A and B are shown apart, each in its own frame.
Chain A
């Protein structure tokens, strides 16, 4: 079909988890020397496909051909021998070992004695391949930046003669400059004739480095399409099965008086004092990349990080916030960006998660009331459209979207006046994402002041009434979302030098 330049062909791949089909007869091809972007919402099947290729999962049906030969990939070792290398988001770099040792680790070296010099000589060509040719291979890997560690990991896989590289959201945790470095390496590797499967959520990246894109939806794949034939709207339409403008609820009209004012707050992660107001009924989007300060200010208001100066007042009354408990006592609810770490109790039931902040509300004299707990949980679940039948399930077993609804929904029990959220839809599939936006808007309409920090510009523009942009610990400017166009926002959060700095209103 694709001629002799097809390196990998997966045909009729199917995989079921119990009653749910993760992949249904998926075909996938990859050519020599191309960068194939893989797009799809969570649960659409792209990570299952990638895991099958990496030998981490076994398909129920289908065949895999690499270089024209049918292969069986039943373990990561077999995949690696077949030339497939999988770079996950969780790096396997051992920080106390040198770069060279990390690259050679587990490589089945035939020499018994390793000397640093011999190792260094061996790994230098691979480091050069990933753009780290100037770095001393004897350095401890822990001294490298996250992006460099990622590149070392790629170099490690290249040293195993990988022909197919799978990069799973490689840029998720990186800064802009670092992202550029990784992208440059990807292009270079492709130019040398290796093939790259690039899994991403960032649509922009698809256009920047992809040759072709395969889109997944509901366990099926679309035929690969050359990137140059697509525009971003088409891409989204394919991806979601619906138009972007249907994602976000219409903005509210009833923005009320100031609910919370933040004045000259300085906290870890902020380079200069930050001031802004949040009104009742308003959704404030704090836009910025990792380390921009958008998350830092949220954490400071929530009492999760100590504040070094400035005041936060609620309805004109200054607050003392030393801990999350203090914030909660003042009606400020906060969801961090790491749901698994501190957002949900994975091994406890959904109902227990939902009532966790409101234990006093469902108990009398220290005794829990099952009836009141049920009522409260049913009410909260109802608001966030969590099926009542799932109240008894273990929270960790829900999908990312439902987990996020639980993490958010539990706070309604304390009837907060302020809701702070970091990355409200991280790791949430598109369908649930739209629901969460819708619910947040409903809450705002009921008079809550909502502030959310997000690195997803589309989310900020679509959901927020007011946008505050952050860059390197500084508030760049505040503007009504309707007056801001995507290019301006992107410039603010990536390199705002061209706009005027400092724009607190």
Chain B
């Protein structure tokens, strides 16, 4: 490297960096600027970033449904930062844009209530999704559409109990629960749902993984399992990615999942290796695609009928056709959460709303 004057280089550099930054912004948020105001109006979604597989698939479902129902959709992503999401809400409201409905997916549920309230005061219908709304904030949202985390965990618990009964090698007694980071409300909901649905299982410990992915699951499980490997007969993880990590840690400690220990996660994802190897007792369809589609549908149903039924409803788990767009939404609208076994046949023959396992768990 020869010594050169720095002046021109800096100019080039700045231009280059700016271009990079712009390119990166496009790459991260591909859908941020496609809002047009025609058709049935505009739906604005506030949510964490679509770099997460589940959220990306949610967005696909929401977009598809919006297109089918004649809406434009604008998705405002925050970078896992409630403060950022709050300021995005302020900006959106201040812009005075004409909006048909808001969809609210807070990053930190309890901390986001202020923004939820601000959205509700615009008079535009607000649909809460994915994060089951905190108690006491009911008047700030019109309807909830999405997964029921209690229910999701109960399905997983039932799957596990069934596997326990059928297993010839494991007598289910003591086990471990691996959770999402403390403070993530879906995590605590699932933990409660699981424990409630399987009172006969003894929980040695509930371990906070601090994450959502196989890596974090492995990291924590590899440290905790050695202490409990003698007693361990089952493991519940709050999703299948964590289960993938835990399964590897179990194997490294000489425990064969499916034979010595039964593992359940209950939220399918794109990789079925563990499932088909019998290392998970089964999985559940917690389809991000459906959740996205259903959130949009709920806005449509409300605008068409101008009313909300009290109480909760589970949308039918019809194998062949999606639920109709007619009728009024309930206060709580849950997507179906059917369980799926762990054989290739189970997966192949599975259908929900006319979609296959591979389509629904495509993330």
Residues of A within 8 A of B (CB): 322-325
C-alpha spacing A324/B2, complex, angstroms: 10
Q: Is B6 an interface residue (CB 8 A)?
A: no
C-alpha spacing A322/B2, complex, angstroms: 9
Residue of B nearest to A306 (CB): B5
C-alpha spacing A323/B3, complex, angstroms: 6
C-alpha spacing A397/B255, complex, angstroms: 60
B1-43 to A contact mask, C-beta < 8 Å, 1/0: 0110000000000000000000000000000000000000000
Closest chain B CB from A377 CB (angstroms): 27
Please tell me the size bucket of the interface on B.
under 10
Residue of B nearest to A303 (CB): B3
C-alpha spacing A325/B2, complex, angstroms: 8
Closest 7 interchain pairs by CB? A323-B3, A323-B2, A322-B3, A322-B2, A325-B3, A324-B3, A325-B2
Chain B, 247-269, CB within 8 A of any chain A CB:
none
Which residues of the other chain, A, contact B2 by a CB distance below 8 angstroms?
322-323, 325
Closest chain B CB from A325 CB (angstroms): 7
Which residues of the other chain, B, contact A325 by a CB distance below 8 angstroms?
2-3
> Can you list 7 residue pairs at the A/B interface with Cβ under 8 Å?
A322-B2, A322-B3, A323-B2, A323-B3, A324-B3, A325-B2, A325-B3
C-alpha spacing A503/B3, complex, angstroms: 35
Q: How many A-B residue pairs have CB under 8 A?
A: 7
C-alpha spacing A283/B3, complex, angstroms: 30
B180-223 to A contact mask, C-beta < 8 Å, 1/0: 00000000000000000000000000000000000000000000
Which residues of the other chain, A, contact B3 by a CB distance below 8 angstroms?
322-325
C-alpha spacing A323/B1, complex, angstroms: 11
C-alpha spacing A322/B4, complex, angstroms: 9
Residue of A nearest to B1 (CB): A325
Which residues of the other chain, B, contact A322 by a CB distance below 8 angstroms?
2-3
Which residues of the other chain, B, contact A323 by a CB distance below 8 angstroms?
2-3
Residue of B nearest to A324 (CB): B3
Residue of A nearest to B3 (CB): A323
Closest chain A CB from B9 CB (angstroms): 15
Residue of A nearest to B2 (CB): A323
Residue of B nearest to A323 (CB): B3
C-alpha spacing A325/B4, complex, angstroms: 12
C-alpha spacing A323/B2, complex, angstroms: 8
Residue of B nearest to A304 (CB): B3
Residue of A nearest to B5 (CB): A306
Closest chain A CB from B249 CB (angstroms): 42
Closest chain B CB from A374 CB (angstroms): 30
C-alpha spacing A322/B1, complex, angstroms: 12
C-alpha spacing A322/B3, complex, angstroms: 8
Closest chain B CB from A319 CB (angstroms): 16
Closest chain B CB from A265 CB (angstroms): 19
C-alpha spacing A324/B3, complex, angstroms: 9
Closest chain B CB from A332 CB (angstroms): 15
Closest chain B CB from A326 CB (angstroms): 9
C-alpha spacing A325/B1, complex, angstroms: 11
C-alpha spacing A357/B2, complex, angstroms: 17
C-alpha spacing A383/B224, complex, angstroms: 63
C-alpha spacing A353/B331, complex, angstroms: 75
Closest chain A CB from B288 CB (angstroms): 53
C-alpha spacing A306/B206, complex, angstroms: 69
Closest chain B CB from A59 CB (angstroms): 48
C-alpha spacing A145/B3, complex, angstroms: 32
Which residues of the other chain, B, contact A324 by a CB distance below 8 angstroms?
3
Closest chain B CB from A334 CB (angstroms): 14
C-alpha spacing A274/B155, complex, angstroms: 91
C-alpha spacing A324/B4, complex, angstroms: 12
Closest chain B CB from A300 CB (angstroms): 14
C-alpha spacing A69/B214, complex, angstroms: 76
Closest chain B CB from A357 CB (angstroms): 16
Closest chain B CB from A307 CB (angstroms): 14
Closest chain A CB from B8 CB (angstroms): 15
C-alpha spacing A448/B2, complex, angstroms: 28
C-alpha spacing A322/B5, complex, angstroms: 11
Closest chain B CB from A54 CB (angstroms): 39
C-alpha spacing A434/B304, complex, angstroms: 98
